A and B are shown apart, each in its own frame.
Chain A
Amino acid sequence: GQNIDQPTEMTATEGAIVQINCTYQTSGFNGLFWYQQHAGEAPTFLSYNVLDGLEEKGRFSSFLSRSKGYSYLLLKELQMKDSASYLCAVMDSNYQLIWGAGTKLIIKP
């Protein structure tokens, strides 16, 4: 079966750095997405990785290792507005997205 694993909840301090991990087992791989979802709102796209390595976009970076079936999202200089759920999703061989359950990130002052 296909499976995406990520921690249920994480807590971090404003101004700090946090790393949210995602491991996956899917039938085929056509890229990995990270989305942010604030409570009561739509998920919004953060990043896409299809090749191994680190993609940096401002305060957010995403890393992929295809051989390990592993990705992480790195958030730097945390702000209170970063409190949200972060969803990891893998595009399988049929170009459909397989979603993780999301990681709820709580930022404390």
Chain B
Amino acid sequence: ETGVTQTPRHLVMGMTNKKSLKCEQHLGHNAMYWYKQSAKKPLELMFVYSLEERVENNSVPSRFSPECPNSSHLFLHLHTLQPEDSALYLCASSQHGASGGYNEQFFGPGTRLTVL
């Protein structure tokens, strides 16, 4: 496997279900991101992990719970979601330097989530 992979690619769930999205990066990067992409709207940054520590949480509802067990893996645990949470969820990784700097993000193919 190369680059950034995400599973599952498609997920349909009811509002009472609990599911998890998985992301794995094979690039040796030290930062990972979860984004939400809704139609005709900008990418919304949800969470950022740098060196396995959460450094950003953009006021995301608690029904979304991230987990980063190591620098290569990132999970997004979902529970009691709402229909408006239906979207494409993208994972990305980058190399984050001590002084910030140019850190191009590499994206996975995304999970298309539908909440019924």
Which of A4, A30, A31, A96 has a CB less than 8 Å from the CB of B45?
A96
Q: Would B105 and A42 count as touching, CB distance under 8 A?
A: no
Chain B nearest CB from A107 CB (Å) reads 20
Q: Does A43 contact B (CB under 8 A)?
A: yes
Number of interface residues of B (CB under 8 A): 21
Residues of A53-109 contacting chain B, CB below 8 A:
87, 89, 91, 95-102
* CB–CB B40/A8 < 8 A: yes
Contact A96 B56 (CB under 8 A): yes
Please tell me if the beta carbons of A33 and B104 are within 8 angstroms of each other in the complex: yes
Closest to B97 in A: A95
Chain B 69-93 near chain A by CB (<8 Å), digits 1 or 0: 0000000000000000000001000
| A87 to B, closest residue via Cβ | B43
Cβ–Cβ contact A100 & B42, under 8 A: yes
Main secondary structure of the interface of B (DSSP, over half): loop
Inter-chain CA distance A87–B108, complex, in Å, is 16
How many A-B residue pairs lie within 8 Å, measured between CB atoms? 46
B42 partner residues in chain A, CB cutoff 8 A: 4, 98-102
Is residue B66 contacting chain A, with contact meaning CB distance below 8 A?
no
CA A45 to CA B105, docked complex, whole Å: 8
Contact A44 to B107, CB < 8 A, known contacts A30-B100, A101-B40: yes
Select one of B43, B100, B101 contacting A99, CB under 8 A.
B43
Report the count of interface residues on A (CB-CB < 8 A): 23
Residues of chain B contacted by A96 (CB below 8 angstroms): 45, 48, 56
The residues in A between 20 and 64 inclusive whose CB is less than 8 angstroms from any CB of B are: 30-31, 33, 41-45, 48, 50
Residues of A near any B CB (own CB < 8 A):
4, 8, 30-31, 33, 41-45, 48, 50, 87, 89, 91, 95-102
Q: List 17 A-B contacts (CB under 8 A).
A: A33-B104, A42-B107, A42-B108, A43-B43, A43-B90, A43-B107, A45-B106, A50-B102, A87-B43, A89-B43, A95-B96, A95-B101, A95-B103, A96-B45, A96-B56, A99-B42, A101-B40
